[in-house]
Amino acid sequence: MNMNIIIATWNINSIRIRIPLLKRLAREAEPDIVLLQETKVEDADFPLENVKALGFPHVYFSGQKSYNGVAILSKIKLDKVSCLTMAKSDHKRHISALLPNGTAIHNFYVPAGGDIPDPKLNPAYGFKLRFVEDMTEWSKHLKKTGRNAVIAGDFNIAPLEHDVWSHKQLLKVVSHTPAEVERINALKDSLNWCDAARHFVKPEEKLYSWWSYRNRDWRKSGRGRRLDHIWVTPELTPALRRFTILKDARGWDAPSDHVPVVMELSA
């Protein structure tokens, strides 16, 4: 790459009601590209002018009413914007585009999967597993193209022991079950993706990007999970410069239960 670029990913949990928080993210993190999930708005009602006013003249989105929805906000003109479907679903859960140097940016919103970790009792859990399996097949195809890529978003899976507040207590809780972890690891191995967070933060250290609304005092309880990820293809690993999770954003006014995750790449 011939420039530094800051990429943030954030499950905003409704873009229309959180424009002020998006403005704060733009000011505090100064991202060049923001990948949003759960925009929860149809394309016709997307707050395009409000977003452009924050300094992102190039805005690409794919949305649905009341749920799902993804968007890419960029200070850089991007090319070849496209959307994938996964697990034979019409959900709006992916959008991608190319940087000027040809690097692909993929924004994914993996299904949450409901509460019961049994595909027979809970179809939403089975859908989640199939979704990640389809991502893995897509990743294998991407490997054949040889294209550099960044994949990011709300993956709704905390794969490592210290990506959750209690490994033992969450083994049967959707987001950290063995079946989910097995599948996200298969996705990671399919192209030898580099997990940007764990490139900088040792796996033995606790690291979270989500805290439940059910916690009266999210900071005091400390019961978080790392559900939001940024991965890069192996060739981009030397370009990683820094990574941060904006934990304090969980305490902003009317926050999302997820916080922004930010990565910087350089030449």
Give the residue extent of every domain in the chain.
5-265
Each residue's pLDDT tens digit, 31-52: 999 999 999 999 999 999 999 9
Region 5-265: CATH code: 3.60.10.10
Residues 6+ apart with CB under 8 A from 13: 38, 40, 256, 257, 258
Is the predicted pLDDT of residue 72 greater than 50, yes or no? yes
Q: Determine the pLDDT at residue 80.
A: 96
The average pLDDT across 220-231 equals 95
**pLDDT confidence of 215, banded at 50, 70, 90?**
confident
Structure confidence by residue, pLDDT tens digits, 119-154: 999 999 999 999 999 999 999 999 888 889 999 999
Please tell me the predicted confidence (pLDDT) of residue 129: 98
- Where is average pLDDT lowest: 3-7, 94-98, 187-191, 192-196? 3-7
Whether 2 shows a pLDDT value over 80: the answer reads no
How do beta strands 228-232 and 5-11 pair? unpaired
Q: Report whether pLDDT(219) > 80.
A: yes
User: Strand, helix or coil at 242?
Assistant: strand
pLDDT at site 1: 47
> Band of the pLDDT at 267, cuts 50, 70, 90?
low
The C-alpha atoms of residue 99 and residue 36 are separated, in whole angstroms, by 17
